Amino acid sequence: MNDMQKEIVEGLKRFRLEKIEPLMEHDDFEGKFRMEIFNELGELGFTGMTASEEYGGLDLPCQDYSYALEEIAKSSVAYAVTISVSSMVQTIINTFGNKEQKEKYLPPLTSGQAIGAFALSESGAGSDAASLKTTAKKVEGGYILNGSKLWITSGGIAKTYVVMARTGGEGAKGVSAFIVEDGTEGFTYGKKEKKMGWNISPTRELLFENCFIPEENLLQKEGEGFKVAMSGLDKGRVAIGSISVGCAGRALDEAIKYSLERQQFKQAIFDFQGLQFMMADMACDVEAARLLVQAAAKSIDDGKSNQKLASMAKMRASDTAMKVTTDAVQILGGVGYTKEYPVERFMRDAKVLQIVEGTNQIQKVVISRQLKKEYGQ
């Protein structure tokens, strides 16, 4: 890490240990998201890290952003994910929005006064996102949205939603992107999902019933929504990879500290070779995942975003998070399975990292396609 990255990580470490860590056991159990924590992260500049300085962001490179998400995830995967999704919305609006849209929506998001959410998935449109059914019918002065979105991260707490809806025929070319504000008439929330992990981060259904969206809230032109939706994938996958590394790194840290203190047969359990080998593998996996994530982030910073690297980073890092957190629970034994120690929470939080931003099976499809291209096929 360079000096700037070290400064970012040290600042976030102090913040998470003081403000986030003491609340995690209670808030995870209660499913409580604290907007004041997000606001404070915004005051420190961490909710608009990659956004343009013109609209209140820090305009930091992706590698700096990656280290920041990793550090936040060491205390809370949920808050790190909230920042990453809101940052994706900022990137979309900054890239595809017009001047008026940027001036209206970006400053509240970059400052941490508002949260952004991304609404693409539906009951029948997950990995096959181009098959979405939510419609946007053109009327005088705008569009009428009808339909629903499922599994929306930050649903209910976000103020600004980027929503994909069908304005044309079947397939990707019929999809358009809209900015929808919380409180818009005809826009309501369905059930709040009861999840295995990420309990602090709400996941909700979005419902649109004759919801009027003014024409000025259309992003780009009709039929360009799928391009808008796919534009942030590489950066989003790097973000999930970064969060995965933080999750795995914290679990490894907890496993090592516990094994050095826990005595069995008159010695620390760390001194048993079987556990040493487990932790050596865990440490290698975390470091390898971090290097892969940073390589993908660097490709974005260099203006040569590498889809294969981004998919590899997301897949390998999230698989590492699942494996390392599972092994950490095993090393702690019985107490690892209880809420007395945080490793059980990180194990639960790790699972969905293998699913979001494209399942890891989809990542293998993407990687394979890129390999085929590289071999001229």
* Residues involved in catalysis: 357
Distance CA 89, CA 108 (A): 12
How big is the CA angle at 362 (ends 132 and 299), to the nearest 5 degrees? Answer: 105
Token pair recorded at residue 117: 């959410």
Token pair recorded at residue 87: 């940052």
Distance CA 28, CA 348 (A): 11
Distance CA 106, CA 108 (A): 6
Token pair recorded at residue 361: 């099976």
Strands (E), 222-311: 263-264, 267-268
- How many Å from the N-terminal Cα to the C-terminal Cα in the chain? 38
Q: Taken in order 317, 320, 326, 329, is the CA torsion positive or negative?
A: negative
The angle, 0 to 180 degrees and rounded to 10, between the axes of the packed helices 233-261 and 77-96 is 160
CB 75 within 8 A of CB 17: yes
Count of Cβ atoms closer than 10 Å to residue 69 Cβ: 29
Distance CA 112, CA 40 (A): 8
Per-residue CA distances from 56 to 49, 73, 94, 95 (Å): 9, 24, 12, 15
Distance CA 209, CA 187 (A): 7
